[in-house]
Amino acid sequence: MMNKFKANSIDVFYQPNHNGGGMDFGQDYIQLISNRYEKSFDKVYEFCSGPGFIGFSLLGAGLAKNIVLSDIYEPVAEVINKTIEVNGLEGRVNFYNISGVNPLPVTNIDLVVSNPPHFLSTQDWLGHIENRIYIDENWEIHREFYSNIGEKLSDDGVVLFQENALGSSVNDFEEMISDGGLEITDVFPMKNTVGNDQIYYIESKKSIGAFSVDS
């Protein structure tokens, strides 16, 4: 039987092994985006979406007009389709069961959000969570993302990632962000921490001229 999480006005369906924090610290995105950008985004993409806790919450809060979700884990397709059907969201949500960003057939994305895997290796205190949710070996998931996301963004698109200071610092990602034609525009901690996690945000945008016609 599927579980259900109320994301503002939307019932988000999920299985017990689908939550990697999206129902918890992932919900910090709602107030943060509302306060920081003070607008609704036309096209929001949740990378490593799982059931789409963050994306659907932004949609329900009126901060996203349309959302794109992608995840490598095939079983989340069933719960996402259920969420779309029950809430009448056909035409406003697209899910892609793909590995990474390169095969994503979407462009002109205005905002990217994600609660990606935060650790390089197993953590004893996370034994209740499947390794696929929190381990990114050699930061390969992050590296592939930053290598390809620039081509999918609108000119003023924003990437706003949640990371965990228990597993990384911004220094781990600076070079791959730069190599992908992006620049870090801000790094800041989550104001209201949840549990033991030490969540911080990395905001990045396209570097000026990095994706010009002649590049």
Sorted by where each begins, the domain ranges of the chain are 3-206
What pLDDT, on a 0 to 100 scale, did the predictor assign at position 214? 45
What pLDDT, on a 0 to 100 scale, did the predictor assign at position 208? 83
Averaged over 46-68, what is the pLDDT? Answer: 97
Crossing angle (nearest 10°) for helices 28-37 and 53-60? 50
Confidence band for 197, pLDDT divided at 50, 70 and 90? confident
Of the given ranges (9-23, 68-82, 109-123, 196-210), which has the lowest mean pLDDT? 9-23
What pLDDT, on a 0 to 100 scale, did the predictor assign at position 121? 80
CATH no. for 3-206: 3.40.50.150
Tell me if 15 sits within 8 A of 3, measured CB to CB: yes
- pTM equals 0.94
Confidence band for 215, pLDDT divided at 50, 70 and 90? very low
pLDDT of 125 > 80? The answer is: no
pLDDT of 132 > 90? The answer is: no
Tell me if 153 sits within 8 A of 112, measured CB to CB: yes
* Selection from 46, 13, 48 nearest residue 30 by Cα: 46
